Amino acid sequence: MIPSNIKALILDMDGVIWKGDAPIGDLPATFKRIRERGLRFVFATNNGTKTPEDYQEKLAELGVDVEPSQVITSALGVAFMLAQKHPRGTKVFMIGENGIRVALEEKGFEVVDVEDAPQAEAVVMGIDRGINFQKMAEATLLVRAGCPFYTTNTDRTFPTPRGEIPGSGSWLSVVTSATGIEPLVAGKPFPYLMELALERLGTAKEETLVVGDRLETDIAAGQAVGCSTAFVLSGVSKREEAKDWNPSIIAESLSALVA
């Protein structure tokens, strides 16, 4: 099912590799086939709550051995984006979890807590399951005062074993509504994360297939950078929605795609 010109895969995780906490299909067998075909691969996820090392550990538990450099998160993307625009030592007010904090600190930024938010020189928002009114108020005040404003992603929902809960985009809409200002976005469907992935792979866009389960993020991001796209039906979006997005390939799962 994968075209012969494809040399590499950019893989989403939630809805492609696992759903909730359960693996989708026989992952060791699937990745054995991927490697036997000589395909390079990286993971690119809008979920910035974890570090690449966290994901490496989770994948290993499911029988898939990868290097941290093969995992690109929206947290990593937003840290790279800030590093292009702000010097090391810049104070950043962050609404997010450990994955974002680690990525920012590794790039030399000083993450300030809500009590010290007025000192911040930039604002970064992502999914934060400990969010509260004070955090939202401080972010709003900073953005209204002119602080550069970034987000990991605009996903409206976030997958959990019990179902979808409000994602980064849902909380982000509170700040954008209160300020009238839109953030710069690192994650899918915007192209930045895909460009990082292509750089890691060392392949041309024409040789790279983007695989995902969300049409409005994964497939749209692949199309934004000119890659072929494979929509898998193992996650969020439904087959009947695909006609509005026209993915290159539709498959039941990653396993079926590489069979």
Q: Which residue has the higher pLDDT, 42 or 163?
A: 42
- Assess contact for 120 and 92: CB atoms under 8 A: yes
**Model pLDDT, residue 157:** 87
Active-site annotation, residues: 12, 14
Does pLDDT of 220 surpass 90? yes
- Segment 184-198, tens digit of pLDDT: 999 999 999 999 999
Does pLDDT of 247 surpass 90? yes
**Model pLDDT, residue 56:** 98
Report the topology of domain 8-46+188-258: Rossmann fold (3.40.50)
At 209, the pLDDT band (50, 70, 90 cuts) reads very high
Q: First and final CA of the chain: distance in angstroms? A: 7
**Model pLDDT, residue 195:** 95
**Model pLDDT, residue 87:** 98
At 238, the pLDDT band (50, 70, 90 cuts) reads very high
Q: DSSP for 56-90, please give it.
A: HHHHHHTT----GGGEEEHHHHHHHHHHTTS-TT-
- Enter the tokens of residue 218: 């994964």
pTM of the model: 0.92
At 1, the pLDDT band (50, 70, 90 cuts) reads confident
User: What is the pLDDT of the chain when averaged over all its residues?
Assistant: 96
Alpha carbon distance 34, 8 (integer Å): 9
- What is the chain's length? 259
Alpha carbon distance 43, 74 (integer Å): 11
- Segment 117-165, tens digit of pLDDT: 999 999 999 999 999 999 999 999 999 999 999 999 998 888 888 888 8
Helix axes 74-83, 192-201, angle to 10 degrees: 90
Q: Which residue has the higher pLDDT, 97 or 21?
A: 97
- Assess contact for 17 and 213: CB atoms under 8 A: no
Helices within 84-121 (DSSP H only): 98-106
Q: Is the dihedral of CA 248, 253, 255, 259 positive or negative?
A: negative
Read off the pLDDT of each residue in 8-16 and give the average, rounded to a whole number: 98
**Model pLDDT, residue 159:** 80
- Segment 67-97, tens digit of pLDDT: 999 999 999 999 999 999 999 999 999 999 9
* CB-based contacts of 56, cutoff 8 Å, min separation 6: 66, 67, 68, 71
- Assess contact for 178 and 133: CB atoms under 8 A: no
> CATH 3.40.50.1000: which residues of the chain?
8-46+188-258, 80-185
**Model pLDDT, residue 158:** 84
Q: Which residue has the higher pLDDT, 203 or 236?
A: 203
Does pLDDT of 21 surpass 90? no
- φ, ψ for residue 139 (rounded to 5)? -60, -45
- φ, ψ for residue 164 (rounded to 5)? -80, 135
CA proximity to 248, closest of 26, 63, 5: 5
Superfamily of domain 80-185: HAD superfamily/HAD-like (3.40.50.1000)
